[in-house]
Amino acid sequence: MDALSVLIVIALIHCSLFFFDTLFKSCSHLPYFYFLKNTGLEIQILRIKWFTTAFNRKIIKWGMDRSKFWTAWFNAGVIISIILLPIAVLIILKMTFNMWLAGSSSDTGSGAILEPMLPGVDIPFNELGYYVTTLAVCSIVHELGHALAAAREDVQLFGLGIFIFFTIPIAYVHISNEQLVALPLRNQLRVTCAGIWHNIVFATVAAAILVFSTWLWAPLYSLGYGVYVKTILPNSPVLGPTGLLEHDVIYKLNNCPVKNSEDWYDCILHSVQHPTPGYCVRQSFVQDFDESVPAKQKTNGVVNCCTADSETSGSLCFEYIEGPQAAPLHLPPHSCLPARVMINQSQNFCQASHECLSQDTHCMKPSLDNVTKIVQIKRKVGKDILFFGHPADIYRTVDVSDWVPKYSFFHPKLPESLVLLCKYITVFSAGLAIINVVPCFFLDGQYVINVLVLYLLNSRPHNKNIREATVLTITSIGTLLLIINLMYLLTNKIL
């Protein structure tokens, strides 16, 4: 299913929910109203809202337990958030400066430090689940920080909820704003900085898991010893009775070692860009197995020296490559040889006969066009696979993984999913922390800068108007710069 189809399905689900919600409400179905009230659901066009008080008692209990720990914890959050504030402002200013320098050039967004990530543009659509899950989890962790800090400061907690706009989930917490404002400035900072602090910690934990994932999974999986074949498309040319199988471990393509998926891509690319290598074989082998007929050159430059029956049985026309010193010709220019038998017994790859190590071996190169290549796929269990065709077909139809299970009942999907989820959490949680600390309306930075200005100018109570004007000016500039950068980046990504 392509990206447009997925979006259409999601839109239809939203429209269906809104239609039935309107229908049940218009018919005055009391059980439906009772259901909405007890579940906290609210359905609007392309929006779903859920609010609950079920976790209030638990959050309050957590916030009141271990009071010394939570005090130190949220004080650390205040310090880190205040340090992060000027860094976030500098990032926004740098992005604005880069945007101004870029102008209307084609190198748009190249200097961006923070960028919006869009499914189907920056993110593959098959990773939409990770995208939505990460946004939801990072948002919940952020709001849970505010809720715990509010409970610790004895600010009334009304409940928590989550708001889904189309596919984007946004968590929120409802606390008493009057009680929050009545707190001392230091206590207010603990509550307002708690969400930012939790996002920073969450990103750090995810990054640590990502860094140490190799050691965490070492008892069950191996890395750097080949690639594991996860799936093979039904139309793959490597399928067959003696072809590639799922769960095979590939460690070499021709003479190119494959340790991970990057090597897999590089080796296939090397096979595409370079001619098929020759093979060092003994002269006696060529003399014993040669079934050649008078050679004929085709229109594409390929020389054919095999009969139709020989080609059907797996034979191929090979060209004898002489050494650089014009050594005497020991073999005919072209020989029809069984490809698999020859390649299996060849001693090494070559481009000329002088590269063959033994004196009685010669370099035999297959006569192929510029597109068709021979790729010898070496796997740890089973015979080598000989592929004839364009190597890109291998890459297109075979999905491999770096994670090689040590036991047959394990699959690389588990560590792959965890690593990918940690990557998303690291990027999204750190990004949310930086964005939220920017002095901007409706973000935590608005309240942080308000408290900081009040704290710095607290010695001049008669300058209330100056304080309010300072906060309004800083917040307005931060909001304007953030909106301009986001709109600029979104426009360049979409258009």
> What is the DSSP code (8-state) at residue 28?
T
State how far the Cα of 374 lies from the Cα of 253, in Å rounded to an integer.
10
Both structure tokens of 392: 């890109």
What's the pLDDT band for 109 if we cut at 50, 70, 90? very low
**Residues forming beta bridges with residue 221, ordered by sequence position:** 405
Q: Which of 322-331, 411-420, 423-432 comes out lowest in average pLDDT?
A: 322-331
> Residue range 317-338: average pLDDT?
74
Percent of the chain with pLDDT over 90: 41
How much is the pLDDT for 106? 47
The candidate with the shortest Cα–Cα distance to 483, out of 92, 131, 87, 195, is: 92
State how far the Cα of 461 lies from the Cα of 323, in Å rounded to an integer.
94
The candidate with the shortest Cα–Cα distance to 250, out of 237, 235, 241, 238, is: 238
What's the pLDDT band for 462 if we cut at 50, 70, 90? low
Domain extents for the chain?
1-45, 50-215+417-494, 236-392
Q: Which of 31-35, 122-126, 448-452 comes out lowest in average pLDDT?
A: 122-126
Both structure tokens of 124: 């593959």
Report how far apart, in Å, the C-alpha atoms of 116 and of each of 166, 218, 280, 333, 488 are. Answer: 17, 35, 54, 61, 10
Is 327's pLDDT higher than 60? no
Per the CB < 8 A criterion, the answer to whether 372 and 296 are in contact is no
Q: Which of 66-75, 118-127, 429-438, 474-483 comes out lowest in average pLDDT?
A: 118-127
Per the CB < 8 A criterion, the answer to whether 478 and 435 are in contact is no
How much is the pLDDT for 329? 56
Both structure tokens of 172: 């929120």
Q: Which of 82-91, 166-175, 392-401 comes out lowest in average pLDDT?
A: 166-175
State how far the Cα of 262 lies from the Cα of 226, in Å rounded to an integer.
11
What's the pLDDT band for 78 if we cut at 50, 70, 90? very high
Per the CB < 8 A criterion, the answer to whether 227 and 249 are in contact is yes
Predicted TM-score of the model (pTM):
0.81
Per the CB < 8 A criterion, the answer to whether 256 and 263 are in contact is yes
What's the pLDDT band for 292 if we cut at 50, 70, 90? confident
Q: What is the pLDDT of residues 293-326, one digit of tens each?
A: 888 888 777 888 998 888 888 888 998 887 544 4
State how far the Cα of 275 lies from the Cα of 292, in Å rounded to an integer.
23
Q: Give CA 235 to chain center in angstroms.
A: 26
